[in-house]
C-alpha cells in the first residue's frame, strides 16, 4: 500500500468544446480538479435542492432487509413522485410507531387499576374520577378526607385510590400528586393498538412495494449527482470567448488515459511534476479487501502527499492492541463465532468484505493472545492440558507485563521514526529521526539491562549517537550567514525537550496492560460471585449463578470492546501519529460519475 504519485495536468480547448471536456474527464474519473479562477462570491446552486430528500428516501428503502425484485426499465417512472411517497411513508411509519409506543405506555400505566370502564357522563351527574397511587404506610390519611374514595387495587408497596369529585381536588388532599390515566379504558386502548398494528402492516407493505424502484431511484439520483458535479467543476474552469482550460491532479499510472482522451478530442495537454510549492491531494493505493485499513488511515488525519501510507501498520497494531485489552480467548472465540455465523451476510459488498476482514483480524488475534495469557472467560486452563502449554504469559506478573507494554510502545514509536527517516531520506531531518530512534532504544536497553555492563555500554553509545543526530540535524534552517550554523545547533538543542514527550508517549502504552488486567479481573470476579451464589444458596443457587455469569460476562465484554476500540485507536492516532505523521494532507476527490449497481 502506498500514496500514488501524481502529476498536474492542464487541458486546453476551444470554448464551444467545454461540455465535451467536462463530460470526458468525468467519464474517466481520475482527476482531482483544481480551481483556475477565484471562487465566486455567490456560488451557483448547481446541486438539485431535492438531492438531500432523494438520498434520505433511497436510504429508507435500502434499509429494508427483504426487498422486492428490481424494476430495471420503466419509461414512465416518476422519480419525484417516488421520492415523495418514500418521504411521506417514512413520516407515517414514524407517527404510527410513536402512537403505538404511547398506547403501550398507557396500557402499562392503567394495568394496576384493572379494566376500568367509564360510564356515560350523563349518569355521573357531573362527577369525575381522580386517581392516586398512595404508599401503604400513608393509608390512614384517607379516613380524614371528606370526598368519596375507594381502593381499587393494592400491591406490596402502594394502594391505588380513586377519589370522586366534580372538580379537581386540592393539591394538599393527599400527600402524593394525582396520576393522569386519560379518558380511555383498557379495552379502547387495546382496540387502538390493534388498529395501529394493522396500519403498520399496511405501511410496511407499501414500503416493500416501493422497494421495487430502488434501482431506478438510484440511477436518477446518480444522474442528478453527476450533473451537480459537472456544475461544480465548471465553476473551477477558466474560460474566455475563445478558449477554455481545466487543471487538476492525475495519478501517474492513469495520465496516459487523459493524454489519449486529449488526443482524440483534440485538446492541448500539458503535464508537469509537482514543484516544492505544490501540495497534491493524497490518494492511497490498496486492494479492495484492505479498504477498512484505508479508512483507518484516513479517519483521524489524512496523511500528507509527501508522507507515507500507514494503513497496513494501523491494521496490524490495532488488532494487537484490541487483543491485549480484551485479553481473553473465550471472548475472542465468542466474537469469532458470531462473525463466522454472519460471514456470508457481511460480504454483500466490497466495503463490507473489507470490514469483515478487519473483524476477523481483531477476533483471531484476540483468541491467540487470550490463549497466550491463559484466560478463557476468566478461567485459567488446568495444568498439563494443551491449553496450559499455550499459556506462556502470566498476566499476574506485573513486572513482566509492564515490560511487555513498554517494549511494544518503544517498538511502535520506533517504527514511526524509522518510517519518517525513510520518507525523508534525502533530507537532513532523516538523521534526526534516526537520532530519536537511537534515544528511545537507548533508554529501553538501559532499563532492561538489569546491571549488564555490556548492555549499559550499548545504551550509552546509542544515547550519545542519538543526541548528536538530533542536535546537528533537526533544524533545516537555510545557511545564509555564519550565525545560521549556531542557530541550527541551538534549535537542535531546544528540540531535545521532546524527550519528555517520547517518555510520556511510551508510558501511555501501559494502558494495554492496565485495561487487559481490568478485563481479566472482572471476568474472574464474576466467576467467583457465581460460584459463591451456587454453593451458598440452596434451591435457586444454580439459576442465580447462571444469571450472574451471563450478565457479568456480557457487561465485561461490552466494556472491553469499547476500551479495545477507543484505546486501540487512540494509541495509533495520538502517540504513533505524533511521531509518524507530522503533516496533514487533503484527500483525493475524483471528478467521476456515480456508479449504480443492479
Segment 12-68, tens digit of pLDDT? 999 989 999 999 999 999 999 999 888 765 544 444 445 678 888 888 998 888 888
Please name the helix (run of DSSP H) or strand (run of DSSP E) that holds residue 159, with its range, or none: strand 158-165
Q: What does the alpha-carbon distance between residue 7 and residue 3 come to, in Å, rounded to a whole number?
A: 13
State pLDDT tens for residues 232-246: 888 899 988 889 999
331 vs 277: which has the higher pLDDT:
331
The per-residue pLDDT for 450 is 81
pTM: 0.79
| Distance separating alpha carbons of residues 4 and 251, to the nearest angstrom | 6
pLDDT given for residue 44 in this prediction: 46
Question: pLDDT for 508-535, tens place per residue?
Answer: 999 999 999 999 999 999 999 999 998 8
Q: For residue 125, what pLDDT is reported?
A: 81
pLDDT at 40: 64
Strands (E), 258-308: 268-272, 284-285
pLDDT of residue 504: 94
Q: In this predicted model, what pLDDT tens digit does every residue of 71-122 receive, in sequence order? A: 888 888 888 889 899 999 999 999 999 999 999 998 888 888 877 777 777 7
Exposure string over 298-337, b if 16+ CB within 10 A, otherwise e:
eeeebbbbebbbbbebbbebbbbbbbbbbbbbbbbbbbbe
CA 62 – CA 46 distance, rounded (Å): 26
Taking the C-alpha atoms of residue 84 and residue 73, their distance in angstroms, rounded to an integer, is: 20
Task: For 480-505, write each residue's pLDDT tens digit.
Answer: 888 988 999 999 999 999 999 999 99
User: What is the average pLDDT across 556-561?
Assistant: 95
Q: What is the mean pLDDT of the chain?
A: 90
Question: Using an 8 Å Cβ cutoff, are 19 and 237 in contact?
Answer: no
For residue range 255-284, what is the model confidence (pLDDT) as tens digits?
999 999 999 999 999 999 999 889 999 999
Q: Give the residue carrying C-alpha cell 386519560.
A: 182
| Residue 4 pLDDT > 80 | yes
pLDDT tens digits for 289-320? 899 999 999 999 999 998 899 999 999 999 99
pLDDT band per the 50, 70, 90 thresholds, residue 539 = confident
The percent of residues above 70 in pLDDT, for the chain, comes to: 97
CB-CB contact of 182 with 106 (8 Å): yes
Closest Cα partner for 325 from 391, 275, 369, 267?
369
CB atoms within 10 A of CB 161: 23
- Which neighbouring-strand residues pair with 267? none
Domain regions of the chain by residue span: 117-180, 288-398+509-580, 402-498
pLDDT band at 1 (very low <50, low <70, confident <90, very high): low
Amino acid at each position: 500500500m502506498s500514496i500514488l504519485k501524481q502529476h498536474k495536468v492542464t487541458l486546453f480547448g476551444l470554448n464551444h468544446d467545454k461540455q465535451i471536456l467536462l463530460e470526458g474527464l468525468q467519464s474517466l474519473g481520475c482527476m482531482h480538479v483544481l480551481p483556475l479562477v477565484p471562487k465566486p462570491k455567490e456560488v451557483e446552486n448547481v446541486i438539485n435542492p431535492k438531492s438531500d430528500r432523494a438520498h434520505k428516501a433511497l436510504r429508507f428503502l435500502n434499509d429494508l432487509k427483504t426487498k422486492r425484485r428490481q424494476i430495471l426499465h420503466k419509461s414512465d417512472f416518476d422519480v419525484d413522485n417516488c421520492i415523495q411517497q418514500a418521504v411521506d411513508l417514512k413520516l407515517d411509519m414514524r407517527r404510527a410507531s410513536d402512537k403505538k409506543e404511547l398506547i403501550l405506555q398507557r396500557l402499562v400505566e392503567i394495568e394496576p387499576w384493572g379494566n376500568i370502564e367509564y360510564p356515560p357522563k350523563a349518569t355521573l351527574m357531573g362527577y369525575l374520577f381522580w386517581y392516586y397511587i398512595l404508599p401503604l404506610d400513608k393509608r390512614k390519611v384517607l379516613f380524614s378526607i371528606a370526598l368519596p374514595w375507594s381502593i381499587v387495587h393494592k400491591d406490596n408497596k402502594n394502594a391505588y385510590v380513586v377519589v370522586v369529585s366534580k372538580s379537581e381536588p386540592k393539591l394538599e388532599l393527599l400527600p402524593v400528586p394525582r396520576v393522569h390515566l386519560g379518558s380511555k379504558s383498557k379495552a379502547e386502548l387495546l382496540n387502538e393498538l390493534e388498529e395501529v398494528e394493522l396500519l403498520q402492516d399496511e405501511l410496511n407493505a407499501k414500503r416493500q412495494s416501493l422497494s421495487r424502484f430502488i434501482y431506478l431511484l438510484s440511477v436518477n439520483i446518480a444522474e442528478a449527482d453527476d450533473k451537480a458535479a459537472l456544475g461544480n467543476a465548471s465553476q473551477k474552469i477558466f474560460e474566455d470567448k475563445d478558449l477554455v482550460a481545466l487543471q487538476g491532479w492525475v495519478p501517474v499510472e492513469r495520465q496516459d488515459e487523459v493524454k489519449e482522451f486529449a488526443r482524440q478530442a483534440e485538446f492541448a495537454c500539458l503535464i508537469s511534476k509537482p514543484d516544492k510549492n505544490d501540495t497534491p491531494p493524497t490518494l492511497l493505493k490498496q486492494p479492495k479487501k484492505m479498504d477498512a485499513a484505508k479508512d483507518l488511515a484516513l479517519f483521524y488525519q489524512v496523511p500528507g502527499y509527501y508522507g507515507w501510507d500507514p494503513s497496513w501498520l494501523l491494521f496490524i497494531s490495532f488488532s494487537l492492541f484490541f487483543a491485549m485489552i480484551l485479553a481473553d480467548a473465550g471472548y475472542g472465540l465468542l466474537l469469532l463465532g458470531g462473525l463466522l455465523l454472519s460471514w456470508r451476510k457481511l460480504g454483500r459488498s466490497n466495503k463490507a468484505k473489507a470490514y469483515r476482514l478487519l473483524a476477523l483480524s481483531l477476533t483471531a488475534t484476540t483468541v491467540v493472545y487470550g490463549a497466550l495469557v491463559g484466560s478463557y472467560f476468566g478461567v485459567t486452563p488446568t495444568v498439563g492440558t494443551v491449553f496450559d502449554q499455550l499459556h506462556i504469559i502470566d498476566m499476574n506478573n506485573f513486572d513482566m507485563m509492564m515490560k511487555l507494554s513498554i517494549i511494544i510502545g518503544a517498538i511502535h514509536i520506533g517504527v514511526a521514526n524509522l518510517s519518517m527517516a525513510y520518507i525523508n531520506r534525502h533530507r537532513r531531518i532523516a538523521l534526526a529521526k534516526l537520532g530519536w530512534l537511537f534515544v528511545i532504544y537507548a533508554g529501553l536497553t538501559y532499563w532492561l539491562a538489569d546491571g549488564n555492563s555490556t548492555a549499559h555500554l550499548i545504551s550509552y553509545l546509542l544515547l550519545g549517537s542519538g543526541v548528536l543526530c538530533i542536535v546537528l540535524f533537526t533544524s533545516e534552517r537555510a545557511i545564509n550567514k555564519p550565525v545560521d550554523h549556531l542557530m541550527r545547533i541551538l534549535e537542535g538543542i531546544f528540540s531535545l525537550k521532546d524527550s519528555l514527550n517520547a517518555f510520556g508517549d511510551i508510558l501511555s502504552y501501559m494502558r494495554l496492560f492496565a485495561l487487559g488486567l481490568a478485563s481479566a479481573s472482572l471476568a474472574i470476579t464474576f466467576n467467583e460471585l457465581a460460584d459463591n451464589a451456587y454453593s451458598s444458596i440452596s434451591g435457586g443457587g444454580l439459576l442465580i449463578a447462571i444469571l450472574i455469569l451471563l450478565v457479568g460476562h456480557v457487561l465485561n465484554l461490552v466494556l472491553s470492546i469499547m476500551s479495545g476500540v477507543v484505546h486501540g485507536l487512540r494509541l495509533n492516532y495520538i502517540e504513533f501519529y505524533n511521531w509518524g505523521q507530522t503533516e496533514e494532507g487533503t484527500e483525493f476527490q475524483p471528478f467521476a460519475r456515480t456508479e449504480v449497481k443492479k
